[in-house]
């Protein structure tokens, strides 16, 4: 007779191979699900380099400048807006007017060429976010942007994923009624980040699709 | 007088060599040509799929109002063809029909190949097929989930369940034969490969006991499944309010149509296979005749479905429904499919009232081809003709396929044939263990009734 | 020393007769290997240790019902609770529409249970086992019927058992090697 | 205008750095700038890329402005008042701009020619701005030249001999001044004002009767009986937008017992006005003179036989006589008015004036002013042609006019024009004529220009720029100023100098206020006293049976087929050929897109032995064209109507080769109605791109109608189509307010303005003729046309069809991904980014209002045209479904505005694009709990109904049945089952009247 077709140890190899096969198939499903939740994919915590070394810590904490002083259209418009060069020069024609750090700003101002900032918070094209209505309802800026006053370089702290948006839209009261919109009240905002369990999840005008997708 | 199910009483070894030998006996030039043709068509299919995905489904003839056409017709047609396999292997098993034995493996493989063709279309026909996974309830960061009031997630569940259960059922039945191949294939390489597939089957009595119990359970599960799948597929239409779709008769009528077309496909395939492999004593006239009888029965159910639909359309008094049934289908655009389905699905099966037609291989084969055509036409009648003539005459339109549509249809036929040919060459397409069981039963039976050859069986 | 003894028979009736005779002689740890499930052998084996009727169908039923329940609950959770969007004027929790998927998932998981159950109870998903490789044993999947008596049987004695098997008309008798 | 405040004009602002003046960049460069702009605005135009988790978002750039402009807030749209001008007549409009990018045209509610509505052409003018084939610079004999240099050369010349100008009719006071200055500088300069759709006959008619050219100002809102003689005053006449609103005021019937006006129309082929007529009489164009003469006889109490002698025999004549008798009775007994169409000869206009005089209409339902256009009876193209032939033209300046394409061949322009020693051409884009000229000067688009123009009633309307010029361009005013000697003409300076000469703060503020209003208040012309100065002999000649060129009422041309020309309702005279929106606009009665056809009655087609799509060769006026046939029910027999404006060969890739050029069949003496020398089938077929092939209802009661009498007898005749069907489903979102729309089909003329407005607002792509033939057009809003009655005497019902926003929407429950679902405020929402494209929703939509992106139609849209996109609406990618959203972007914007102010949405705060543009005001929209809005009041009327109510879909869009007001002298019977019996008897693929 011929020798045994398979040696006894082959069982272990066989079973191991099958387990690997199934695990591989499962990971094809699971790995993308994990990936989309990583900060890498959501662009969180990425310190972009900007054309101007603008330090929010200094302007917000040391100088006590309100967010809306520069990002003024946030109150009126869907877009919060990056300030025109003229706003920078409003102060910096008086102070630090010789600083080499501000050379880019001055060049922009006198040449009329805009400064090319890198976008930090970017929503997909089909999402219509409106800053003004959030501000009008007393959502602190920190709620979404984090404590910018402590950031040397602004990074995105919130994942800006749809479920993250929905957390507040379902529990609308959670963010409303803050006394001062631009309070740097990071700690109190953190409390709000922990969503209360919404008892009523029925669809409202804040959670229907066209609130954000049009 | 009934024909025998097995002509002659071959020994176990002879039966084994004959039925397993299909996997190792060399094929002739005919096989190479067949593989070349079906391989070319398969390549065409995948080329056209790529073209469609790259350019968009605008390369098809679909439009508004005819939002679904060839893709969905093909889907329903292929999945319907699959139904005969499950019907033979599960329902006839439950009813202890002995004649299923020699054709069940074969029909199950046909089911799998057909469902694979069908499975191409639910994804391919999407505008954005790369998002097809949204039909499954995975934990999404969007927190938006599949909408299970639609028949399409039902479809996804039903088709994937159907394919999986059919595969398990088929593979379970294949295990003993794979073990047989492992133990008796002529070369070591073959034995090693079949051994990998046999999962260590050794024919132990206790395993056989669990096997038989589970085989029965699977048959019991597959039987309602086969009914549910085409019911769910019919819901793709029945839950809609398109005139011509809005009908409670659809689920049973679709199931009957599916089995009808499936048996036709079984005949279409089994006749050449039997001839090529010379298996006239294993697949006898009895098998063909029984298939023909079932075609006649299910054909009448289909015909009854047509008639009830007409009656309901008339009885409803709804102008749109009546127009659909009595004007648009027989006289409207693409009316050819209405006449083809009437002739092929209602007319052609009537020849099976005659025994000579049921037992003539050529008549059977041509009739089965016509029925396949007829059932494809019926789906086109239901899908395309209904959509052409909906409620608002202002939006009546018509439909004609593009070369891509036709190419994909032909391509799936080629791919189906390729898979099926591969099955015929690589796996035992008649269940050896079941044939042995039957042969032993017959031998015992013969011993009890000496005048063998004139018995009834099944 | 071999841990079992294997005897080959020509057909299922011979095997069944042998089993009955061996059982009459007090052997209990009997097992048969055969190329198709023969009812005679089944009957003859009733009463021997591993021959209780299969309980796998209960497992299938359990899994099926469990999966159906989970499927329904998931549909309720996703459509009726977590984001109860309204479509077509239907209530978000709409039991009738949840039936098909519930049914399909029940069938699917019952089938998984059935298939995996056989593999598990038959100790399958392997390439070889203790009896594979025994000379002539490959006929067990072909045309011969084998009887196995384990050494663990209290009545087992290599020589006497061999003699007993010869008496039952065994075509050949093998003592498989014990694996390394 | 609640959407956003009309903001300060761009009057004194500096150039936008994003659009440096004078650049002539290729489109690709424009695209880059556009992207920068959009990103700066946080707007979404990039379309829907793959958004699955596997694709990481790229990091983009933000480019903020350098300077601070208080009126510009990124992300906030601004509306500017300006004007669109067609053949001299200005319509005041408000143009929405996003980041200095015009995207949408709306009517100016303060402007008398608009009242807030616009025509299709006004809507489409914004896309003309972004035409990628616009000229990017001046050319000197085909080689690029510096525009400023050429302008300085022009300004440097004096006393040019043989100087001729060919211009479209003009009404601008500034241009009038410039012309006077040119005449002073170049004493022999001659100006020909002409257009293929000339209104000269109107002024000749009034001169004949009143002694001087006068413009009739109709008062449809005071008129109870209107007789329109080939007059499409609701769609194809200069003041049609305004007149539609006036007409609707007396036509719309609020309650069964209320009164409504009656409309008689005599015309050769159906028109929007004709489709609203209680009694439409199909007559050949040349026969209208006899009809008018007979009508005059009838209102004067004379026998009409003398005017209609030949008619007394035939049945056709009998029908015409009864029509005339009934019309005359209504004209006499009710406040009547006769309107004569622009293409009728002066005699018919004169007869119209005499009838109006006879019934006392003059001074009550019609008054007169002087014409808004300059020199209405001055030189025309014929005069120029004569000068050309005589070799008297040394320098020819053509602006906008395109004579080599449009001139009748008998004028010989094509022969003589190339012999002119110096030929200067100016237009937005190069065209047929510019190729034959030495200099080409690019004109600036109106949205890049400063200027002025008069409305139909004389109101001075301002034109102001909304965007820095995309290409170097010059306005017509500036060009003429250059000829007047100004080397650096500046439209802005000219406008300021004329309308706001002061410089102080107060003057500037007043100027800005005027610009914000868009017009000079009180600048409409004073009414003129119109006394008939017609001798008895002349009167007798007019009233007598006319001789040539329109012999006999049903007279000499009986044996011949008459050709009728018509400006296209889509591309007009061909000047809009490059606008894909208009090319793809389904024309009101044949729903034909991308081309024109020889339209004729079924009997005439049978006589010629041709059917739909068969190509015929037509010979007339020395020319011959081949054109496909289209059978048009309601068309008069023995007559073929042809649309102008097609068959261009130098209009750019969009317009070239679309349809057939029928200008070559025209003659200068019979520009509108001419006998055909021959019509014969060629044996070829050309499949026309038609969006609606079936017009019969098959008894399905989709678009409901009743006569006024029937309505009064049974006010609830629509009950079966609104009573709710039994259901097992409890209503969802009952505690929320819901949005709804109401459409009155009684006053819908099918003018298509809503179709284009929707397309402009919602970034709806065009797909091209081939895709239209495959039923893949993308219009979210279409106007379904249903036809009742016989082929000879059809009644048309226009039914604007858009998403009905069903409460129990069949589309929603079949979507597997929730890509379409219901909002608490009753909207059927479509979420493109969630759509995977199963098309099940479209299959299950009984209204078939969903449209699918079969290909990447946006990708196929020219990059510059994408600048028009509304940033508040997602641009759809391939493979997704789309449909009307009730302009949800406007609803949500109002919602946000209200939330910010912690108030509720106000009644009338949300206006949809289609509602806003509708000239007759047939579309109303609003919240259903705002009881005092028209929307809610209309829904309470007896005649409201829901289309396909029997399906239980509970639509939010409700229609009001069309009410006819037939004269008791001419009874009309509405047979409900006309369609069904005919349809059942014939092949359904080709139901009666729709065999296409």
pLDDT of amino acid D787: 92
Q: Which residues are within 8 A (CB) of A98 and not within 5 positions of it... i.e. 6 or more apart?
A: none
Q: Is the pLDDT of residue B35 over 60?
A: yes
Whole-number pLDDT of residue D26: 33
Write out the residues of chain D at the interface with chain C, using a CB-CB cutoff of 8 A.
727, 729-733, 806-815, 818, 820-822, 954
B147-178: pLDDT as tens digits: 999 999 999 999 999 999 999 989 998 998 89
Question: In Å, how far are D42, D281, D413, D874, D963 from D972, measured between CA atoms?
Answer: 59, 13, 50, 48, 12
According to the model, what pLDDT value does residue D472 have?
Answer: 86
Overall average pLDDT of the D193-214 stretch: 93
Cross-chain Cβ contact C50/B206 below 8 Å: yes
Alpha-carbon gap, residue D445 to B80, rounded angstroms? 62
Inter-CA distances, D604 with D274, D400, D564, D623, D636, Å: 20, 37, 14, 22, 9
Confidence (pLDDT) at D781? 95
Whether pLDDT at B78 is above 60: yes
Residue C55: the pLDDT is 84
Chain position carrying tokens 């030189």:
D379
Prior bond to D463 cis, omega within 30?
A: no
Q: Which tens digit of pLDDT belongs to each residue from A111-131?
A: 888 888 888 888 888 999 999
Distance of alpha carbon D464 from alpha carbon D495, whole angstroms = 9
Query: What would the two tokens of residue D137 be?
Result: 């610079």
Report how far residue D954's alpha carbon sits from residue C88's, in angstroms, rounded to the nearest whole number: 10
- The SS3 of residue D349 is helix
* pLDDT score recorded for residue D154: 92
D816: nearest CA in chain B?
B147
Rounded Cα distance, D591 and D572, in Å: 16
* Whether the predicted pLDDT of C76 surpasses 50: yes
Q: Within an 8 Å CB–CB cutoff, is residue D732 touching chain B?
A: no
Phi-psi region of B243 (alpha: psi -120 to 50; beta: other; left: phi over 0): beta
pLDDT tens for residues D830-853? 999 999 999 999 999 999 999 999
Q: Which of A1, A6, A166 to mutate: most B Cβ within 10 Å?
A: A6
Query: Is D59's Cβ below 8 Å from some Cβ in A?
Result: yes
Question: Does an H or E element contain C73, and which?
Answer: helix C56-75
Q: CA D47, CA D146: separation in Å to the nearest integer?
A: 38
CB D477 within 8 A of CB D175: yes
Best residue in D726, D817, D818 for a mutation probing chain C (most C CBs within 10 Å) = D818
User: D153, exposed or middle or buried, with CB in 10 Å at 0-12, 13-18, 19+?
Assistant: middle
Task: Inform me whether the pLDDT recorded for C1 exceeds 60.
Answer: no
B200 contacts A5? CB cut-off 8 A: no
Which of C166-180, D91-105, D883-897 shows the lowest per-residue confidence on average (mean pLDDT)?
C166-180
* Alpha-carbon torsion angle D277, D283, D288, D293, nearest 10: -80
Give pLDDT, residue B3. Answer: 64
Q: Where is pLDDT greater, at D791 or B254?
A: B254
pLDDT at D993 over 60: no
Please name the residue of chain B whose CA is at the shortest distance from the CA of residue C60.
B217
Q: Provide the number of CB pairs (under 8 Å) joining chain B to chain D.
A: 183
| D595 contacts D627 by C-beta, under 8 angstroms | no
**pLDDT mean over D940-958:** 93
Q: From the candidates C79, C82, C85, C89, which should be mutated to test the interface with D, based on the most D CB atoms within 10 A?
A: C89
For β-strands D78-86 and D89-97, DSSP reports them as: antiparallel
Beta strand D623-631 pairing with D957-960: unpaired
Question: Cβ(C175)–Cβ(C6) under 8 Å?
Answer: yes
User: Residue B49 corresponds to which tokens in the numbers above?
Assistant: 């799929």
D825 vs D303, more confident? D825
D105-132: average pLDDT? 93
Mean residue pLDDT across chain D: 86
pLDDT of residue B432: 82
Cα separation, D694 vs D996, whole angstroms: 8
Strand ranges, E, within A25-139: 117-118
- A86-95, C133-142, D25-34: which has the highest mean pLDDT? A86-95
Distance between CA atoms of residues B289 and B358, nearest Å: 5
The set of residues, in sequence order, having a beta carbon less than 8 Å from that of D721 and lying 6+ positions away, is D701, D704, D945, D946, D947, D949, D950
- Residue D214 touches chain A, beta carbons under 8 Å: no
According to the model, what pLDDT value does residue D977 have? 44
pLDDT of residue D321: 87
CA distance linking residue A69 with residue B88, whole number of Å? 78
Q: Which value does ipTM take for this structure?
A: 0.91
* Strand D190-193 to D163-167 pairing: parallel
- Rounded to a whole number of angstroms, the distance from the CA of C66 to the nearest CA of chain D is 25
The answer to whether the CB atoms of A15 and C86 lie below 8 A apart is no
Those of residues 185-204 in A touching chain D at CB distance below 8 A are 203-204
The neighbours of chain D, by the rule of 3 or more Cβ pairs under 8 Å, are A, B, C
Check pLDDT > 60 for residue D633: yes
- Is the Cβ of A130 closer than 8 Å to some Cβ of chain D? yes
Bridge partners for D106 per DSSP: D94
A11 touches chain C (CB under 8 A): yes
pLDDT of residue A172: 60
Phi first, then psi: give them for residue D215, nearest 5 degrees: -105, 120
Average pLDDT on B424-435 reads 85
* Residue D39 confidence (pLDDT) above 60: no
Question: Could you report the per-residue pLDDT of A145-204, keeping only the tens digit for each?
Answer: 888 888 888 888 888 889 888 888 877 655 454 433 343 333 344 334 334 444 567 888
Q: For chain B, what is the mean pLDDT?
A: 88
Within the 149-188 window of chain B, which residues sit less than 8 Å (CB to CB) from chain C? 149, 151, 153-154, 157-158, 160-161, 164-165, 168-169, 171-172, 175-176, 179-180, 182-184
Contacts of B196 in chain A (CB under 8 A): 14
- Give residue C52's pLDDT: 66
Q: Residues near A93 by Cβ (< 8 Å), separated by ≥ 6? A: none
Average pLDDT on D418-442 reads: 93
Per-residue pLDDT at D30: 36
**CB B403: neighbour CB atoms within 10 A?**
10
Across B287-291, D418-422, D809-813, least confident range: B287-291
Residue of B nearest to C10 (CA): B12
Question: What is the mean pLDDT of the segment spanning B361-378?
Answer: 93
Identify the burial level of B32 via C-beta atoms within 10 angstroms of its C-beta, where 0-12 means exposed, 13-18 middle and 19 or more buried: exposed
Q: How confident is the model at residue B458 (pLDDT cuts 50, 70, 90)?
A: very low
Q: Look at residue D37 and tell me whether its pLDDT is greater than 60.
A: no
Chain D residue with minimum CA distance to C79: D818
- Burial (CB count within 10 angstroms: exposed 0-12, middle 13-18, buried 19+), residue D626: middle
Q: Which residue in the set B160, B204, B436 is minimally distant from C33, CB to CB?
A: B204
The verdict on a CB contact (< 8 Å) between B221 and C82 is no
The answer to whether D995 faces chain B, any CB pair under 8 Å, is no
**Averaged confidence pLDDT in chain A:** 81
Q: Give the H/E segment covering residue D432.
A: none
C90 Cβ under 8 Å from any chain D Cβ:
yes
Best of B142, B164, B171, B201 to disrupt the A interface (most A CBs within 10 Å) is B142
CB contact under 8 A, D817 and B58: no
Using CB atoms, list chains with 3+ pairs below 8 Å to chain A: B, C, D
In the predicted model, what is the mean pLDDT of residues D678-691?
Answer: 93
- Please identify among residues 169-208 of chain B the ones whose CB lies closer than 8 Å to any CB of chain D: none
Chain B positions touching C51 (Cβ under 8 A) are: 205-206, 209
Give the dihedral sign, CA D90/D91/D94/D100.
Answer: negative
């Amino acid at each position: 007779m011929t020798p045994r077709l398979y040696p006894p140890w082959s069982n272990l190899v066989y079973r191991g191979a099958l387990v690997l096969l199934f695990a591989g198939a499962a990971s094809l499903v699971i790995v993308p699900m994990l990936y989309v939740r990583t900060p890498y994919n959501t662009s969180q915590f990425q310190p972009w380099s900007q054309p101007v070394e603008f330090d929010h810590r200094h302007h917000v904490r040391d100088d006590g400048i309100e967010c809306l002083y520069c990002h003024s259209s946030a109150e009126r418009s869907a877009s919060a807006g990056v300030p025109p060069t003229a706003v920078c020069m409003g102060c910096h024609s008086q102070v630090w007017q010789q600083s080499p750090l501000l050379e880019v700003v001055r060049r922009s101002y006198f040449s009329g060429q805009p400064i090319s900032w890198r976008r930090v918070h970017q929503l997909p094209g089909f999402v219509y976010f409106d800053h003004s209505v959030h501000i009008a309802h007393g959502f602190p800026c920190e709620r979404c942007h984090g404590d910018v006053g402590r950031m040397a370089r602004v990074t995105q702290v919130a994942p800006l994923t749809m479920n993250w948006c929905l957390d507040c839209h379902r529990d609308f009261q959670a963010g409303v009624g803050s006394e001062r919109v631009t309070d740097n009240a990071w700690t109190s905002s953190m409390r709000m980040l922990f969503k209360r369990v919404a008892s009523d999840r029925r669809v409202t005008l804040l959670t229907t699709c066209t609130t954000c997708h049009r | 007088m009934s024909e025998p199910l097995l002509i002659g009483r071959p020994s176990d070894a002879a039966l084994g060599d004959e039925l397993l030998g299909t996997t190792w006996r060399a094929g002739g030039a005919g096989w190479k040509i067949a593989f070349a043709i079906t391989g070319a068509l398969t390549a065409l299919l995948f080329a056209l799929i790529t073209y469609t995905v790259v350019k968009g489904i605008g390369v098809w003839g679909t439009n508004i109002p005819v939002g679904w056409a060839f893709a969905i017709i093909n889907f329903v047609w292929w999945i319907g063809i699959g139904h005969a396999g499950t019907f033979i292997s599960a329902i006839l098993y439950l009813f202890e029909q002995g004649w299923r034995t020699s054709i069940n493996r074969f029909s199950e493989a046909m089911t799998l190949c057909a469902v694979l063709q069908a499975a191409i279309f639910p994804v391919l026909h999407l505008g954005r097929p790369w998002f097809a996974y949204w039909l499954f309830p995975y934990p999404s960061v969007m927190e938006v989930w599949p909408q299970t009031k639609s028949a399409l997630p039902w479809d996804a569940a039903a088709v994937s369940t159907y394919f999986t259960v059919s595969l398990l059922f088929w593979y379970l039945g294949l295990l003993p034969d794979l073990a047989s191949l492992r133990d008796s294939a002529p070369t070591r390489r073959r034995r090693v490969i079949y051994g990998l597939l046999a999962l260590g089957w050794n024919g132990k009595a206790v395993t056989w006991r669990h096997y038989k119990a589970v085989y029965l359970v699977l048959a019991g599960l597959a039987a309602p499944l086969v009914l549910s799948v085409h019911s769910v597929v019919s819901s793709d239409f029945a839950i809609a309010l398109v005139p011509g779709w809005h009908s409670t008769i659809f689920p049973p009528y679709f199931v009957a149509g599916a089995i009808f077309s499936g048996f036709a496909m079984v005949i279409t395939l089994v006749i050449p296979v039997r001839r090529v492999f010379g298996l006239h004593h294993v697949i006898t006239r009895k098998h063909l005749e029984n298939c023909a009888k079932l075609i006649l029965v299910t054909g009448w159910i289909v015909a009854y479905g047509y008639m009830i639909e007409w009656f309901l359309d008339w009885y409803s008094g709804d102008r749109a429904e009546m127009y659909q049934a009595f004007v648009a289908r027989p006289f409207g655009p693409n009316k050819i499919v209405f006449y083809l389905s009437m002739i092929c699905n209602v007319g052609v099966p009537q020849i099976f009232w005659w025994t000579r037609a049921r037992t003539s291989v050529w008549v059977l084969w041509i009739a089965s081809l016509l029925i396949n055509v007829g059932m494809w036409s019926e789906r086109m009648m239901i899908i395309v003709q209904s959509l052409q003539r909906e409620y608002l005459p202002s939006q009546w339109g018509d439909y004609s396929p593009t070369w891509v549509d036709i190419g994909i249809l032909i391509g799936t036929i080629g791919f189906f044939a390729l898979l099926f040919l591969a099955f015929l060459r690589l796996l035992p397409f008649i269940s050896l263990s079941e044939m042995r069981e039957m042969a032993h039963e017959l031998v015992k039976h013969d011993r009890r009734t000496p005048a063998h050859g004139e018995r009834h069986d099944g | 020393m071999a841990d079992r003894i294997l005897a080959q028979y020509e057909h299922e009736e011979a095997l069944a007769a042998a089993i009955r005779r061996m059982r009459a002689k007090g052997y209990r740890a009997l097992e048969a290997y055969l190329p198709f499930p023969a009812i005679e052998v089944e009957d003859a084996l009733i009463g021997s240790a591993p021959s209780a009727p299969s309980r796998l169908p209960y497992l299938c039923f359990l899994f099926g019902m469990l999966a159906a329940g989970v499927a329904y609950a998931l549909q309720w959770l996703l459509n009726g609770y977590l984001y109860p969007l309204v479509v077509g004027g239907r209530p978000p929790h709409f039991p009738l529409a949840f039936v098909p998927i519930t049914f399909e998932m029940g069938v699917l998981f019952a089938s998984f249970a059935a298939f995996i159950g056989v593999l598990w109870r038959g100790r399958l998903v392997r390439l070889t086992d203790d009896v594979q490789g025994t000379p002539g044993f490959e006929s067990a999947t072909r045309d011969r019927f084998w009887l196995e008596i384990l050494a663990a049987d209290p009545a087992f004695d290599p020589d006497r058992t061999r003699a007993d098997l010869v008496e039952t008309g065994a075509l050949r008798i093998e003592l498989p090697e014990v694996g390394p | 205008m609640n959407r956003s405040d009309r903001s300060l004009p761009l009057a004194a602002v500096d150039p936008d750095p994003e659009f440096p003046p004078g650049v002539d960049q290729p489109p690709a460069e424009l695209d880059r700038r556009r992207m920068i702009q959009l990103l700066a605005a946080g707007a979404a135009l990039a379309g829907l890329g793959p958004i699955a988790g596997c694709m990481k978002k790229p990091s983009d750039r933000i480019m903020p402005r350098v300077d601070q402009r208080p009126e510009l807030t990124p992300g906030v749209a601004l509306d500017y008042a300006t004007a669109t001008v067609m053949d001299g007549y200005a319509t005041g409009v408000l143009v929405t701009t996003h980041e200095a990018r015009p995207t949408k045209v709306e009517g100016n509610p303060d402007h008398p020619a608009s009242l807030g509505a616009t025509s299709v052409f006004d809507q489409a003018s914004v896309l003309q701005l972004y035409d990628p084939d616009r000229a990017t610079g001046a050319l000197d004999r085909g080689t690029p030249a510096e525009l400023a240099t050429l302008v300085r050369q022009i300004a440097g010349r004096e006393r040019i001999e043989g100087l001729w100008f060919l211009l479209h009719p003009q009404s601008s006071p500034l241009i009038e001044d410039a012309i006077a200055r040119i005449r002073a500088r170049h004493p022999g300069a001659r100006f020909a004002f002409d257009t293929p759709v000339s209104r000269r006959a109107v002024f000749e008619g009034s001169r004949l009767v009143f002694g001087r050219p006068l413009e009739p100002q109709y008062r449809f809102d005071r008129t109870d009986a209107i007789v329109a003689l080939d007059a499409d005053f609701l769609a194809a006449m200069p003041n049609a937008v305004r007149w539609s609103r006036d007409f609707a005021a007396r036509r719309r019937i609020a309650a069964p017992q209320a009164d409504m006006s009656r409309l008689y129309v005599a015309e050769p082929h159906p028109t929007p006005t004709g489709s609203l007529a209680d009694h439409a009489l199909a007559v050949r164009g040349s026969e209208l003179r006899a009809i008018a003469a007979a009508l005059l006889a009838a209102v004067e109490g004379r026998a009409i036989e003398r005017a209609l002698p030949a008619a007394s025999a035939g049945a056709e004549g009998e029908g015409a006589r009864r029509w005339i008798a009934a019309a005359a009775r209504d004209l006499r007994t009710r406040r009547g008015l006769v309107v004569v169409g622009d293409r009728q000869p002066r005699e018919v206009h004169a007869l119209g004036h005499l009838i109006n005089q006879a019934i006392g209409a003059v001074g009550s339902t019609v008054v007169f002013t002087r014409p808004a256009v300059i020199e209405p009876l001055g030189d025309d193209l014929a005069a120029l042609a004569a000068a050309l032939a005589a070799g008297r033209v040394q320098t020819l300046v053509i602006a906008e006019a395109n004579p080599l394409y449009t001139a009748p061949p008998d004028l010989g322009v094509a022969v003589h024009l190339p012999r002119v020693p110096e030929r200067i051409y100016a237009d937005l884009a190069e065209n047929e004529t510019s190729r034959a000229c030495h200099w080409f000067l690019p004109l600036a688009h109106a949205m890049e220009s400063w200027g002025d123009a008069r409305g139909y009633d004389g109101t001075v309307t301002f034109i102001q720029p909304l965007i820095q010029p995309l290409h170097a361009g010059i306005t017509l005013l500036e060009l003429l100023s250059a000829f007047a000697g100004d080397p650096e003409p500046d439209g802005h300076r000219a406008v300021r100098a004329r309308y706001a000469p002061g410089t102080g703060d107060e003057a500037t503020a007043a100027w800005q206020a005027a610009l914000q209003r868009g017009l000079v208040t009180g600048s409409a012309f004073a009414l003129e006293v119109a006394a008939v100065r017609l001798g008895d002999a002349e009167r007798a000649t007019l009233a007598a049976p006319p001789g040539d060129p329109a012999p006999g009422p049903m007279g000499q041309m009986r044996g011949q087929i008459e050709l009728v020309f018509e400006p296209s309702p889509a591309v007009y005279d061909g000047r809009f050929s490059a606008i894909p929106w208009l090319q793809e606009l389904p024309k009101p009665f044949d729903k034909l897109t991308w081309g024109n056809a020889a339209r004729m009655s079924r009997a005439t087609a049978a006589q010629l032995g041709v059917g739909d799509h068969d190509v015929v060769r037509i010979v007339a006026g020395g020319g011959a064209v081949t054109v496909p046939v289209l059978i048009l029910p309601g068309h008069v027999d023995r007559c073929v109507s042809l649309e102008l404006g097609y068959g261009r060969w130098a209009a750019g890739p969009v317009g070239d080769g679309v349809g057939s050029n029928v200008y070559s069949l025209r003659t200068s003496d019979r520009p509108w109605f001419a006998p055909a020398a021959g019509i014969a089938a060629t044996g070829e077929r050309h499949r026309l791109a038609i969006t609606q092939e079936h017009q019969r209802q098959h008894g399905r009661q989709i678009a409901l109608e009743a006569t006024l009498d029937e309505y009064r007898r049974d006010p609830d005749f629509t009950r079966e189509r609104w009573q709710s069907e039994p259901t097992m489903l409890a209503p969802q979102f009952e505690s929320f307010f819901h949005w709804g729309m109401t459409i009155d089909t009684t006053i819908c003329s099918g003018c298509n303005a809503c179709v284009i407005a929707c397309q402009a607002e919602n970034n709806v792509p065009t797909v091209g003729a081939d895709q239209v033939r495959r039923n893949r057009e993308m219009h979210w809003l279409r106007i379904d046309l249903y036809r009742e009655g016989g082929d000879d005497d059809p009644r048309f019902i226009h039914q604007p069809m858009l998403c009905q926003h069903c409460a129990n929407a069949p589309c929603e429950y079949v979507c597997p991904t929730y890509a379409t679902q219901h909002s608490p405020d009753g909207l059927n929402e479509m979420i493109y980014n969630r759509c995977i494209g199963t098309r099940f929703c479209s299959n299950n939509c009984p209204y078939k209002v969903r449209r699918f992106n079969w290909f990447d139609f946006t990708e196929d849209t020219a990059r510059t045209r994408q600048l028009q996109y509304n940033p508040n609406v997602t641009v759809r990618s391939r493979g997704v479904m789309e449909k009307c959203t009730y302009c949800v972007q406007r609803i949500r914007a109002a919602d946000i505005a209200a939330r910010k102010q912690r108030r509720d949405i106000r009644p009338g705060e949300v206006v949809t694009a289609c509602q806003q543009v509708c000239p007759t005001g047939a579309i109303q929209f609003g919240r259903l709990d705002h009881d005092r809005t028209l929307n809610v009041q209309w829904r309470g009327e007896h005649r409201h109904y829901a289309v396909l109510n029997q399906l239980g879909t509970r639509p939010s869009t409700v229609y009001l049945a069309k009410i006819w007001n037939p004269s008791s002298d001419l009874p009309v019977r509405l047979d409900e089952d006309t369609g069904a019996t005919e349809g059942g008897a014939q092949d359904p693929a080709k139901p009666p009247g729709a065999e296409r």
